[in-house]
């Protein structure tokens, strides 16, 4: 006899639920990357990037950091958006640009700490997936998927460059505590 499949709402938690899970891990001796949302996208104007950038205040409220890698910075002012929530200095440290003329098989990706990984379309397709059109996979801190996704992000981060940025401190912005 086969087991009944869980309803889609049970199988795939919402972004706020995933962020809440990450936030509850704060102060438990987790690796710093376990307490961050890490985004890889073609630009801040892609659908998933706009969705994640709109959630920056929610991330900060839960004690969740943010890092992003883009292949180009155009359109949306990601540095100002990050600076407004986390402070200008953090914006300078948490956004990178990778100059890879042919992105090959790099896909849009969002690592939600070690809790979940969202995968969208390959960046070479020049199309972007909305969050609901991608695939959210729940992981665990020791899972292969969590480890590989984190390593892939860090490897790309290490070859990316800090963008030239003029993000000045925004009045009333908060500085991100050490994470």
For the chain, list the domains and their CATH numbers: 14-19+31-159 (3.30.870.10)
DSSP 114: T
Q: Stretch 92-102: mean pLDDT, rounded?
A: 77
Q: Please, are residues 88 and 13 in contact by the beta-carbon 8 Å criterion?
A: no
Identify the CA nearest to 97 among candidates 165, 176, 166, 25: 165
Q: Stretch 79-88: mean pLDDT, rounded?
A: 81
- Residue 177's pLDDT is what? 33
- Residue 37's pLDDT is what? 92
Q: What is the pTM of this model?
A: 0.75
């Amino acid at each position: 006899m086969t087991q009944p499949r869980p309803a889609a709402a049970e199988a795939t938690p919402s972004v706020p639920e995933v962020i809440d899970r990450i936030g509850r891990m704060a102060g438990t001796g987790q690796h710093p990357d376990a307490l961050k949302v890490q985004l890889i996208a073609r630009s801040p104007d892609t659908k998933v990037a706009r969705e994640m950038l709109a959630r920056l205040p929610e991330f900060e409220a839960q004690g969740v950091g943010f890092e992003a890698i883009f292949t180009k910075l155009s359109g949306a002012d990601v540095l100002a958006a990050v600076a407004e929530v986390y402070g200008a200095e953090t914006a300078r440290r948490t956004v990178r640009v990778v100059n890879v003329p042919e992105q090959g098989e790099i896909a849009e990706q969002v690592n939600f700490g070690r809790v979940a990984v969202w995968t969208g379309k390959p960046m070479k397709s020049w199309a972007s997936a909305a969050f609901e059109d991608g695939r959210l996979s729940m992981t665990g801190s020791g899972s292969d998927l969590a480890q590989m996704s984190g390593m892939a992000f860090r490897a790309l981060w290490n070859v990316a460059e800090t963008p030239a940025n003029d993000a000045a401190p925004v009045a009333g912005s908060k500085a991100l505590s050490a994470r």
